[in-house]
């Protein structure tokens, strides 16, 4: 009998049937911080507080780290554009 593969979370006790389910869980729940780099090369660490990651530029909240990173990059460009007006 073949044992099914499982994918455990390295942070909590959750176990998933697929790698993509585990990775999604980590992005939504267990990733405690995200590091982002601004247009000047400055690295910023954004901590998850009460389950949410908050953009340090505009205060918008995200649950998933990939959504925050995508927003943060656009937000940087918007602030740069508005600052030079």
Q: Per-residue pLDDT tens for 53-67?
A: 999 889 999 998 989
Residue listed under structure tokens 């908050």: 54
- Mean pLDDT over residues 16-24, rounded? 93
Helix and strand totals (H; E) in the chain: 2, 6
pTM metric for this prediction: 0.72
CB-side neighbour CA atoms (13 Å) of 52: 8
Instruction: Give yes or no for residue 85 having a pLDDT over 70.
Output: no
Q: Tell me if residue 47 falls in helix, strand or coil.
A: strand
**Residue 68: exposure state from Cβ atoms within 10 A (0-12, 13-18, ≥19):** buried
Rounded Cα–Cα distance for residues 27 and 11 (Å): 12
Q: Is the pLDDT of residue 2 over 80?
A: no
């Amino acid at each position: 009998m073949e044992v099914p593969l499982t994918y455990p979370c390295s942070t909590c006790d959750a176990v998933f049937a697929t790698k993509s389910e585990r990775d999604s869980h980590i992005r939504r729940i267990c990733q405690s911080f995200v590091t982002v780099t601004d247009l000047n090369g400055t690295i910023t660490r954004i901590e998850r507080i009460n389950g949410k990651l908050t953009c340090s530029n505009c205060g918008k909240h995200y649950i998933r780290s990939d959504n925050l990173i995508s927003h943060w990059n656009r937000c940087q460009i918007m602030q740069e554009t508005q600052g030079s007006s």
